[in-house]
Structure 1
Amino acid sequence: MSLPIIDTHLHFFDLAQGQYSWLKHNPPAWPNLAQIRQNHHLASIPAHDRFTLAGLVHIEAGFDNQHPINELHWLAQTLTGFPFKAVGYAPIDAPPKQFSAAITRLMTPTLVAVRDITEGADSRRLHTPWLQENLIYLASLGLHFEAQLAFSQCDTIELLLTLAQRHPRLKIVFNHAGFIEQTQPCTAVLQRISTLKNVMIKCSGHEMLQSPMALDKWLGHLIDHAGEDSLMLGSNYPVSLMQKHYWQVWQDYFNVIGLSSTWHKLSRENASKCYHLRTDLD
């Protein structure tokens, strides 16, 4: 029997139609870069005898950061008929009028959230005085914020979690499990998130870590301290090609978790609720 999954974190590329300046002109020093720096579409993911890709959440990939609606239009064309939701791009530190205008331009039926990468020194942009106003505005539209920074950036994480605690309608989803490393497991952050129903964590991006725990310890640490109701699985395709092909990511997740209620929650059920994503199998 095939197991349906919802991939909560992947990217498709069309290098002819999109700009992708970060990938074309100033690429990161990733292994297997040639496999990543090419076109990736839904058809690039082959069928599998154990798993079925029942739905997906596409994360903005720099298709056109000056006009990010163009990526959403492209997705609507390339994914016609396939169950998906989209996370678009908007600068979270923009003044409220500018931010609301940017969101208005992004509004499409598949839009569910916005992401603005604030890793490292860029996390200072989350300390803008109008962060709360911008996040509450997203919540008023039924959208959420996808935060991408390390849980070890304590002051900024505290800011986001305090806002989430004060405003239950405000939803935050942390990408790549907050980049927890073997040397920085951030247990207290995970335990606090376990108490917040409006904060979720995506288990993805393991291949991006500098000193990772083994996959079984990483997933076990997340489940033990954040709790299975706070977690979702994602592939981070095609960046995951740094280490393994698409379905190997999911096979490795399955080998750790096994067929269980935890697997069903992390591989599909939590994602369906978080992203309001119904699949053809529902």
Structure 2
Amino acid sequence: MPRDLPIIDAHHHFWDLTHNDHPWLRPDHPPIPFRYGDYSALRGKDFLPEDYDALTGHHRVVASVTMEGEWNPADPTGESRWITQLHARTGRPAAHVAQAWLDRDDVEEVLATQAAMPLVKGVRHKPRIAAAPHLVERGAPGSMSDPRWRAGYARLASQRLHFELQAPWWHLDEALDLIEAHPETPLVLNHTGLPADRSAEGLAGWRAAMLRLARAPQASVKISGLGLRGRPWSLEDNRPIIRETIEIFGVPRCMFASNFPVDGLCGSFVTIYDGFRSAVADLPWADQLALFHDNAIRTYRLSLPLAAHLA
């Protein structure tokens, strides 16, 4: 029998669509372009702690971190306030990554408000992205190289907030520029740099970009979001990406995460976490504890004991 492994899920969502406003998930809102294609299975459906718990199966999730779920941007702190209330009622989540729009006039006020909530450890602002590597436009409004956007990023350190980046790998050089300009701000790359193109050329581009980003010790990565449009999640598809990511960044800078309920469009929680565990089953037990548990404690400054003593 496999050894008991405590898991901290480093990236998932909760939403209560009955009471809260996530425009992209409302049945009456036009569907948005989505990397997994049809996401109608998510629309109009709440996802709360009891829904999460019903999916984890034999995996022992001891804590988790919620990610902003594109709450109505007219109220960028509303989701964090709701998550704080949810935590008060249920003890969940252990930490939250909040919404912030770094190029807005109200960024200073929003960051201060977010940082004042103890659960909030970092923020995410999905920057403007290009559809392909050759279409990247440096300095484009809303991009990571936009001076206005960068000015907002410069405010994170004073609030003790790290930054979470969701962007395809061809924008990672812009992220490296940000890190070099603001080395005091940690950056957590979401969803493994989005290696959706699994062609030899696509993987070569992803690998080179990840190697460049990994030169910055302030950068870490969440191994998550590995689903492929139109294909069920499989270890065969994803083991090479998982192992290369760990090789590039090293065990101390990698974390596993479910991205649920979104990645439920590609596979069950049990399938995905069984795959994660199988992909690293040959690594030392201390490394497995770091990847599934301890690295999340350090990244999100959680008041939980490390599991390294179990090694």
Would you call these one fold, judging by a TM-score over 0.5?
yes
Compared with structure 1, are the counterparts of its residues 176 and 37 closer, same or farther at alpha carbon in structure 2 (3 Å cutoff)?
farther
Could you tell me which residue of structure 2 aligns to residue 206 of structure 1? 226
- The correspondence for 2:102, drawn from 92, 108, 120, is 92
1:189 and 2:209 are equivalent in the alignment: yes
Residue 65 of structure 1: aligned partner: 73
Distance 1:167 1:116, change over 3 A: closer
The DSSP-based 3-state class of the residue aligned with 1:137 is coil
- Deviation string 1:236-281 (CA, Å, 9 cap, x unpaired) is 1001111222232211100111163332121111111111123377
**SS at 1:207 equivalent:** coil
Q: Distance in 1 between matches of 2:164 and 2:47?
A: 22
The 1:162/1:209 distance shift into structure 2, 3 A limit, reads: farther
CA gap of 1:249–1:174, structure 2 versus 1, over 3 A, is same
Distance, in Å, in 2 between the alignment partners of 1:70 and 1:218 is 35
The alignment partner of 2:103 has SS state of coil
Task: State the one-letter code of the partner of 2:61.
Answer: L
Structure 1 residues 281 and 167: alpha-carbon distance in aligned structure 2, compared to 1, 3 A threshold:
closer
Q: Which residue of 1 aligns with 2:31?
A: 27
1-structure distance, mates of 2:68, 2:302: 17
Asked whether the 8 Å contact 1:92–1:131 carries over to 2, the reply is yes
Q: Distance in 1 between matches of 2:42 and 2:166?
A: 24
Distance, in Å, in 2 between the alignment partners of 1:79 and 1:10 is 15
Q: Is the 2:25–2:42 Cα contact (8 Å) retained in structure 1? A: no
- Aligned-partner Cα distance in 2 for 1:36–1:249: 22
CA deviations 1:21-61 (Å, max 9, x no partner) are: 11211235645632564111111123656422222111111
For 1:169, the equivalent position in structure 2 comes to 184
Q: Deviations over 1:135-175 (max 9, x none)?
A: 2311121101111111123xxx2232123134321111111
> In the aligned structure 1, how far is the partner of 2:207 from the partner of 2:224?
17
SS at structure 1 position matched to 2:72: coil
Matched, 1:150 2:168: yes
Q: Secondary structure at the match of 2:98?
A: strand
Aligned match of 1:51: 59
The match for 2:126 among 117, 128, 143 is 117
Shift of the alpha carbon at 1:188? Answer: 2.2
Which whole-Å CA distance do the structure 2 matches of 1:132 and 1:70 have between them?
24
Partner of 2:156: helix, strand, or coil?
A: helix
> In structure 2, do the counterparts of structure 1 residues 17 and 229 end up closer, same or farther at CA, with 3 Å as the change threshold?
same
Aligned AA (2:67): I
Show the counterpart of 1:222.
245
Task: Give yes or no for contact 2:192–2:223 (8 Å, CA) kept in 1.
Answer: yes
Shift of 1:179: 0.6
* Pick aligned residue for 2:293 from 260, 268, 279: 268
Q: Which amino acid aligns with 2:50?
A: A
Q: Could you say which residue in structure 2 is the equivalent of 1:139? A: 157
Identify the structure with bigger relative contact order (alpha carbons < 8 Å, sequence gap 6+): 1
Quick check: 1:199–1:230 contact (8 Å CA) kept in 2?
yes
**Shift, 1:119, TM fit:** 5.2
- Name the aligned partner's letter for residue 191 of structure 1: L
Normalising by structure 2, we get a TM-score of 0.80
Count residues in correspondence.
Answer: 277
Instruction: Give the stretch that moved more between structures: 27-36 or 100-109.
Output: 27-36
Number of the residue aligned with 2:11:
9
TM-superposed CA distance for 1:210, in Å, is 7.9
Distance 1:32 1:131 in 2: 29
Shift of 1:177: 1.1
The alpha-carbon deviation at position 133 of structure 1 amounts to 3.0
Q: Partner letter of residue 39 of structure 1?
A: D
Matched residue, 1:39: 46
